[in-house]
Structure 1
């Protein structure tokens, strides 16, 4: 191992993943791009401060020529990415990997980000499971003796989502400092699997999360170019779909496509992170920017319609795929009526997306694959996509993206309590290594937990009033926390004490951490703090347990997990 690199933890399978050559590859990427990454993160902080001071996102004058030049297009779809009408998402846990490969979806989003808690054992296991899945040698036997194997004759194309630029990997130190989690996830997968994927007629494909603008896309494009050069594979082999899940990225969609045009596979409507981004950006801007209960934020809200329709327009103008948002219900054989209602809601939501021009969409569970496919089959027929539908009827309207004045709904006591409960329950499971968790029949992941805690913070700081006439205060929220603390079921190895402390830090204090995952990692998962815990996940609704037969936990599962609410 290179003497500049130090590994501070150990997990099963590490020797297969952290080979000397793989670490040298990550080191070369780090040396080339860490300075730029830090500069871009500093620009994020400056922009965030400007929004707090009253500035608003806008289309960039400096890139007007890119938007107005009608001649450029992204690269044509790569092998395995021509037809993406159903994409299933989930963590790269071994059983869930097999379930996803057997699901019948066209694409599997193998998630190292919001659906995966970054415990060291998960970081390593994700890479081990990717290697085995790609080489068709993955199998699993549960503690109860049940065997899982890939039986599908046609498996989904694998697309890996690395962590965002803002997250560090504290267990790999270069010159004594943590390396980028994004470069670790990308670099290890790329080094070990790119050649194998190409030999099998596919390629190294990625989903890029949390981008806040085209310069961050440019950084990824530079990383791709260097990685392909180092591994001696043709330029343009890598393909990447960018999640438009920040308000600033929504104003730079065409520029993002342009920066990645030789490697672009389109854009995705990361709805729930997008809502989180809206709350974060405007949390101090007054009552006109305060949104109602999370459960009332449907995709028919005018500002969300503007976002999704402008995304389709931007993609199809440039020959790129537009991929819709998450359906995160957990079908249950124990409650057929609830499952039927869920399937009806998913069908309606996916039909709307297909009708709007999307080329495919996400689901969180194999039981939803057929419903999503049927909705897109009805519009696409035998065509692999509808990129030719350019949606020139959609106006490019920056004001519509940030106009929340017509959003219907109210803040309720039930919504406040739900946000606090979901936030604490999710973080407790996340601290134990579970990134996608079933709570009250919905898959929750980091994105929906971010909405929950951010709404609580915003309601407190704007002195919002619930429908029963009471002001949301820190003291009121602390009372709810105490009530929940007494009611939580505590399995052996639970981390509710730390989860409650973390929730209080990120939702109930004066300061507002930019990401709960950042605060949680630095406080609880860094060197010397991570606890190796196992055991069942406490869930708020036994019928929604994540080990439900066939489940494929995701933000995958819940990068949009409240889809139940969004499909209303």
Structure 2
């Protein structure tokens, strides 16, 4: 395996850990360094463009389907690549952090796909990042225990990996005196160690791409795939990637994103909570984008219906999978509550299957049979429903932006829920846990984001007074300290105040909190 050496060495700034040397080999670091050298400057330029676009939209520029790509949308002659081995039937996908327990449960769950999530479900402690790579390597090498005590060996799910987004850095690695783009670390280490192994096993290196905002960011990923395949002598088009449409700007460029990734595309996914977070983050300064309690914002809301129907139409028109959103319910000890939760999941998945989605996400193995039964009932023996092209769907920019139709005042319970969930999630994240069961739901970073930006938006437009928020914050902080006595309530509260109560809204809570609390540098290794 020959890898072109980068001009400078990628340096590890973290202390060595158990089995880290199996992942952070000189060849693997050289490979990641080559990707960083090739693409980090473009990534920095794209992040600057994100900020410029945010300022344009905040100043009143309209958001519309790009005129310069009208021919791409009008051309009926192009399609994305045919489904890759192991990605033809995706009726149930289970998601979660890449830790060993999750890996065993997910791969044995009966779902067709396990999405190993380095993004929203992983608190990016260095041990979590390298440990996640070790879990994936062990899973591919079948060093995890996939056999029951009775000797039954399960059919294993196809693995897809979600690297961190373009906006995040990995500060435990340094190249040319700069932190390394976290996306290239997560992608590069997995690709280097597991791509050929997956191909040899009859699968391939498959990915989910988070937080993209436009076609240029998809083009960057496509170029990463091309170089990575060339460096390791893997045929072009072997990589496949599903893009999460979880930003409002990406919703206006779905076809363009598919086109950029065409030979590497595995369709699109509807990322619900992050999508709502993006809507508020982008248009939170406008009163016509005020949202009520997030529990009241269901997928039947007109602007969310427009988004999901356009996603299905776009994917099927181009021959790609349309994957539905997350069912986050976690079964508990109360049978009545469990039945009510399963009924919600069943109804949600029925709507998705009837709308034309080819599969959907669940967060817990107990939800796999519910989701499978719903999609079995619609798909039967077919692996997908690409034939449902949804030609009748016509979505305008106004449809995607029609938030005002569901506007309403937040309730005190809604304010308290957002504050409570954000505080408890922040506390878990600072402890190194990225996926947390809260109030019967498996929550991740997307939940904390929507919770804190709603508080910020309500305060900005004075539909909630600051005294009420601070009173509830006092009460919930006290409750947090009582529930988790070893938690630094001061750190958690300060993080909430910095990300939800400031005049200017931070775009994400993760970058600054990561730098302040999760980075643990040691002396640079030679």
TM-score by length of 2: 0.95
Deviation by residue 1:89-132 (Cα, 9 ceiling, x = unmatched): 00011111110011000000011110010011100110000000
**Cα deviation, residue 277, structure 1:** 0.2
**Cα deviation, residue 151, structure 1:** 5.4
Correspondent of 2:475 among 480, 483, 491: 483
Q: Residue 231 in 1 paired to residue 224 in 2?
A: no
Over the aligned positions, Cα root-mean-square deviation in angstroms equals 1.7
Distance 1:318 1:149 in 2: 45
Question: Alignment partner of 2:114: what SS?
Answer: strand
Distance 1:414 1:98 in 2: 38
Deviation by residue 1:525-563 (Cα, 9 ceiling, x = unmatched): 23459xxxxxxxxxxxxxxxxxxxxxxxxxxxxxxxxxx
> Can you give the 5+ residue segments of structure 2 that lack an aligned partner in the other structure?
none
Q: Contact 1:301–1:408 (CA<8 Å) still a contact in 2?
A: no
Deviation by residue 1:135-179 (Cα, 9 ceiling, x = unmatched): 111149xxxxxx999954311100000000000000001122100
Deviation by residue 1:168-201 (Cα, 9 ceiling, x = unmatched): 0000011221000000000000000001000000
Residue 558 of structure 1: aligned partner? none
Distance 1:318 1:183 in 2: 28
Deviation by residue 1:16-56 (Cα, 9 ceiling, x = unmatched): 11100000000100011011100100000011111211223
TM-score by length of 1: 0.88
Q: Residue 428 in 1 paired to residue 433 in 2?
A: no
Q: Contact 1:422–1:439 (CA<8 Å) still a contact in 2?
A: yes
Residue 202 of structure 2: aligned partner? 201
**Cα deviation, residue 409, structure 1:** 4.6
Q: Contact 1:240–1:266 (CA<8 Å) still a contact in 2?
A: yes
Distance 2:199 2:233 in 1: 12
Q: Contact 1:138–1:149 (CA<8 Å) still a contact in 2?
A: no
Deviation by residue 1:426-462 (Cα, 9 ceiling, x = unmatched): 0110011111111111111110110000000010011
Question: Alignment partner of 1:326: what SS?
Answer: strand
**Cα deviation, residue 405, structure 1:** 2.1
Q: Residue 4 in 1 paired to residue 5 in 2?
A: no
Q: Residue 390 in 1 paired to residue 382 in 2?
A: no
Give the 3 Å change call, closer, same or farther, for CA 528–8 of structure 1 in structure 2. closer
Distance 2:39 2:267 in 1: 24
Correspondent of 1:109 among 105, 115, 135: 115
Question: Alignment partner of 1:405: what SS?
Answer: helix
Moved more, 410-419 or 488-497: 488-497
Residue 165 of structure 2: aligned partner? 164
Q: Residue 329 in 1 paired to residue 323 in 2?
A: no
Distance 1:335 1:4 in 2: 55
Distance 2:465 2:124 in 1: 32
Residue 174 of structure 2: aligned partner? 173
Distance 2:167 2:407 in 1: 33
**Cα deviation, residue 492, structure 1:** 5.5
Distance 1:4 1:23 in 2: 8
> Can you give the 5+ residue segments of structure 1 that lack an aligned partner in the other structure?
141-146, 465-471, 530-568
Give the 3 Å change call, closer, same or farther, for CA 107–148 of structure 1 in structure 2. farther
Question: Alignment partner of 2:85: what SS?
Answer: coil
Residue 59 of structure 2: aligned partner? 53
Distance 2:495 2:155 in 1: 43
Moved more, 9-18 or 153-162: 9-18
Deviation by residue 1:2-28 (Cα, 9 ceiling, x = unmatched): 863221212322111110000000010
Residue 442 of structure 2: aligned partner? 443
Moved more, 163-172 or 514-523: 514-523
Question: Alignment partner of 1:449: what SS?
Answer: helix
Residue 300 of structure 2: aligned partner? 300
**Cα deviation, residue 485, structure 1:** 1.6
Question: Alignment partner of 2:382: what SS?
Answer: coil
Q: Contact 1:241–1:267 (CA<8 Å) still a contact in 2?
A: yes
Residue 557 of structure 1: aligned partner? none
Question: Alignment partner of 2:35: what SS?
Answer: helix
Residue 271 of structure 1: aligned partner? 272
Deviation by residue 1:476-535 (Cα, 9 ceiling, x = unmatched): 212211111222235464233211110100000112110011221122223459xxxxxx
Residue 551 of structure 1: aligned partner? none
Residue 18 of structure 1: aligned partner? 24
Question: Alignment partner of 1:63: what SS?
Answer: helix
Residue 28 of structure 1: aligned partner? 34
Q: Contact 2:289–2:407 (CA<8 Å) still a contact in 1?
A: no
Q: Residue 401 in 1 paired to residue 368 in 2?
A: no
Give the 3 Å change call, closer, same or farther, for CA 101–148 of structure 1 in structure 2. farther
Kindly report which structure 2 residues correspond to 1:135-534, keeping only aligned pairs within 5 A, or say none. Answer: 135-139=141-145, 152-285=153-286, 287-332=287-332, 334-407=333-406, 409-464=408-463, 472-488=464-480, 489-491=482-484, 493-527=486-520
Distance 1:58 1:521 in 2: 34
Q: Contact 1:101–1:156 (CA<8 Å) still a contact in 2?
A: yes
Question: Alignment partner of 1:330: what SS?
Answer: coil
Question: Alignment partner of 2:403: what SS?
Answer: coil
Q: Contact 1:325–1:361 (CA<8 Å) still a contact in 2?
A: yes
Question: Alignment partner of 1:417: what SS?
Answer: helix
Residue 74 of structure 1: aligned partner? 80
Question: Alignment partner of 2:406: what SS?
Answer: coil
Question: Alignment partner of 2:502: what SS?
Answer: coil
Question: Alignment partner of 2:327: what SS?
Answer: coil
Give the 3 Å change call, closer, same or farther, for CA 112–42 of structure 1 in structure 2. same
